Structure 1
Amino acid sequence: MKASLAARIFRTTLAIGLINAALTLVATEWIYEDIEETNLNISLAEERAFFQQRIEASARVQSWSSALLQVHYVPDTAVNTALPPLFAGLPVPFAAEVDADNETHLVSIERTESPPGVLYLAQDITVLENREDLLQQAGIIVLALAMLVLSLILARIGTGRIVRPLRNLSRQIATRKPGVDLGLIRTDYADQELADIVRVLNDLLAALEAYIHREKAMISLASHELRTPIAVISGALDVLEQRATLSEADQKTIARIRRAADKMQADVAALLKLAHRSDSMEKADQLDTNACVSAVIGELENSAPENAGRVTIVRTEPAPSVHADPALVHMLLRNLIQNALRHTHGQVSVRLGHDGLRVVDAGAGLPPHIHDRLNERQSKNEVPEDGLGLFIVGLICERLGWTLRVCKSGATGTEVELLYRAGPKSSG
């Protein structure tokens, strides 16, 4: 199963959206942290300026404290001064957050010029950090979900906008069918790439249509041209038979020539009929399949007396009526039964059922390449080199929408099934 272009575009667009969302969240977090740190530093700088003015010009250590603030001043003249644990071991200058005893403090250590010494400040921001972390996590989760939903929506909309013109083009192409006026595909696409594809397709359709018309004209001309010599042969055979001067051997030869001429005439009629693939040219009637089979058997027996009595009709179920072109149905049944008669010297039975019929013979079986061709394991586009009979049968079934398959083929005979509907082919 091939991958869907729409799914690939959707996944790619969604991945780009998620990457952008992740980068946005990281950048937002960094900017937020930077703003928070700047605000705290500004606030601490104001505190530092305030307490620096309160430093007394003396050689003693001074300290101030409140619920959230610790201030400690050590003059340069002080010796072996013990610092509070929060400031111990920190370099001068210093400015950063310090975690100690499950508390978070913003610590600032700087030298003072007048009086000379070191001013230590620590602001307790534990409550602020905890609340900020909670709000920040909730905000990130909400923002991430919102960006995920937005990415999904944008990916879906974007995929639809990209794929919709392709699907419209696919539907237009799907309406073009061989045998009818192909027409051109509309070119009012806003995207240049699609317009280029449509232009190339239209050029191809125009070339195909010209080719099909040329082939139809050639087949029709050849078929009409062949009708004249066939009619001349048939007329000459009638004249010879009317003279009644032929020996028994000559009469058998004349009969062989007439059978060949009749078959050629039937093949030419089939080719001419199949060359015109326009459904409007076909005359569909309600046909009694039992009567059609009987008429074909009678025709084959009249054209070849040695076939008299060799074909029997077996009615296992009431034979249905079908809505189809009488000429095509006649050609199909004639070629199918005639092929069975040609490949066996014994009896041939036509078994009529409620949804189709089966032609059963007692011959040596079909050659493998013909067996594969009838079951569509070979290309139907290749004209066979071993006769047109079964090839024409396949073309007519394709035209009528019927199914032809080989149910059995071997040393004990061949059984070919014809269903009055389209369906899967079996290997038989």
Structure 2
Amino acid sequence: MINLPGRRGSLHRLISAILLGFGLLMTTGLTTQAFMSQELVDHPIWKELLETATANALADTPQPKPQKGDRIQIWKLSNDTRTDTAATGMPPFLASLAPGFYSEGDLDRRSSGFSDPDYAVLVTSLGKERLIAAIDISDLEREQNLIALIGAVFLLLNLILIIAVIAWLYVRLHRPVQALARGMKQLDPERPAQRLPVQYAQEELKDIACGINAHLERVEHFIGRERALLDQASHEFRTPIAVISGALDVLARQKLPPCAKPPLQRMRATVENLTEIMVALLYLSREPLTSHQDDPLEVDRLLPALVKDHEHLLDGKPVQFSVQVHQSLTLYVPEAMLRIAVGNLLRNAAENTYDGTIAVRLKEGVLSVTDSGEGFDTEQASRHYLSLLRNPIRAGSGKGLGLFLVRRICERFQWTLTLESMPTLGTRAGLDFRLQPSSASEKT
């Protein structure tokens, strides 16, 4: 089966179309056969037979007397229409025929009805007389009518059978398949251990349902193993991170030369960033609880601190952050989630801006980060972004994980991430929080 682009094929419609096409083909065939059998009744062979019989009659006696049961009968009549046809045994309507050949259909039309018996007639002019030769084709006509009747009954029965098969397919195949599709749509990822019913009368549908249930079970086992591994790894990483953090605290209390403080601050920021990533991975690895609501988080108060945490990325460059908060905004999300999402936008802007200002703006539920960097080709960046999402952690590269986390965070909290850029004109990245339950008020 070949589907046109953008079109979906239905097995039920396909089978119905095939059956209807078969019925149409059968109707065409039987109709053609009926016309061909009618053509046999009006076949030119009757004219040839009558011409031969007329020639033989003219060569024999002047007035041949047909025998009872003869297929071909010949009468010689005067052109006087008052001739007594009863005495000759000739059907009365034949006496008025002009010279020429008349098929069974011609006689039916002339007699304003169906003649019985049915004849093919040849009238030959003999001066003041006419020779009328007629062949009785009643048996052939009755056989043709019987064949046509049988064909019509056969066609009607087949059409009834086709309609019954289509209805049976709808009841026995289409409805159960629809029920199976509805069952698959009702599967909720937030409710594990769900399975499709397998009580189907059709063995094929039962096999499909069992196969889907087996696949669901394998997927759940796989997800369970991944979550267990992620939880275990996160807990294992917490210990060395805590050790490093403690060591940094000890170093911070020591008298260090001024040149050692910037590396120490970068190490502190890296440890804090790694801690947030571990928290985010643990949070995102679990299914969201609809009955649980996170603590309120004031975005307008957190935003300046986030910007300050990323100012070290601008060291040595004539670039500065500009923060504009036009409203207070409260979200019900973990702080680590917002820090990772916003921090990724700030870090990308800082790394790609070499001169000018990075404007950070919060207004009408949308956080935007606009830089004056070189910009980029959006189509090329989109392809690169999708490739990173498909393979978020590549060997020797740490850029994919940030994009992966931002994407997952936006999906979890129904945020919208937008990127607008033109080469040499800078980039504007935005986080739209308006689908996330929140409370906001304008700042004066």
TM-score relative to the length of structure 2: 0.63
Residues 51 and 260 (structure 1), Cα distance of their counterparts in 2 relative to 1, 3 Å cut: closer
1:97 to 99, 104, 114: 104
Partner of 2:212: 201
State the alpha-carbon separation in 2 of the partners of residues 409 and 281 from structure 1: 43
Residues 367 and 124 (structure 1), Cα distance of their counterparts in 2 relative to 1, 3 Å cut: closer
Q: Report which stretch shifted further, 203-212 or 400-409.
A: 400-409
Deviation of 1:29 (Å): 8.4
Identity of aligned residues (%): 27
State the alpha-carbon separation in 1 of the partners of residues 298 and 255 from structure 2: 43
TM-score relative to the length of structure 1: 0.65
Partner of 1:331: 340
2:88 to 59, 63, 85: 63
The amino acid that maps onto 2:198 is T
State the alpha-carbon separation in 2 of the partners of residues 295 and 148 from structure 1: 78
Does residue 403 (structure 1) correspond to residue 406 (structure 2)? The answer is no
Deviation of 1:17 (Å): 3.7
Partner of 1:79: none
The amino acid that maps onto 1:359 is V
Say if 1:336 and 1:393, in contact at 8 Å, map to a contact too. no
Superposed CA RMSD: 5.0
State the alpha-carbon separation in 1 of the partners of residues 330 and 370 from structure 2: 22
Does residue 254 (structure 1) correspond to residue 264 (structure 2)? The answer is yes
1:169 to 167, 180, 185: 180
Structure 1 SS opposite 2:360 = strand
Equivalence map 1:3-402=2 (5 Å):
3-5=8-10, 6-22=12-28, 63-68=88-93, 85=99, 97=104, 99=106, 103=110, 106-107=118-119, 155=166, 158-159=169-170, 161-176=172-187, 181=192, 183-242=194-253, 244-280=254-290, 283-284=293-294, 287-297=297-307, 300=310, 310-315=320-325, 318=327, 321-322=330-331, 324-344=333-353, 347-365=357-375, 371-372=381-382, 377-378=386-387, 380-384=389-393, 385-387=397-399, 388-402=401-415
Deviation of 1:217 (Å): 1.0
Q: Report which stretch shifted further, 5-14 or 224-233.
A: 5-14
Task: Specify every segment of 5 or more residues in structure 2 that has no aligned partner in the other structure, as ranges.
Answer: 1-5, 41-66, 72-84, 122-131, 436-444
Deviation of 1:180 (Å): 5.1
State the alpha-carbon separation in 2 of the partners of residues 167 and 207 from structure 1: 25
Partner of 1:415: 428
The amino acid that maps onto 2:424 is A
Say if 1:284 and 1:325, in contact at 8 Å, map to a contact too. yes
Deviation of 1:214 (Å): 0.7
> How many positions carry a matched residue from both structures?
361
Partner of 1:37: none
Task: Specify every segment of 5 or more residues in structure 1 that has no aligned partner in the other structure, as ranges.
Answer: 35-47, 53-60, 71-82, 89-95, 110-118, 423-428
State the alpha-carbon separation in 2 of the partners of residues 101 and 13 from structure 1: 39
Residues 257 and 154 (structure 1), Cα distance of their counterparts in 2 relative to 1, 3 Å cut: same
State the alpha-carbon separation in 1 of the partners of residues 342 and 296 from structure 2: 16
Structure 2 SS opposite 1:189 = coil
Deviation of 1:328 (Å): 2.4
Say if 1:328 and 1:396, in contact at 8 Å, map to a contact too. yes
Say if 2:120 and 2:137, in contact at 8 Å, map to a contact too. no
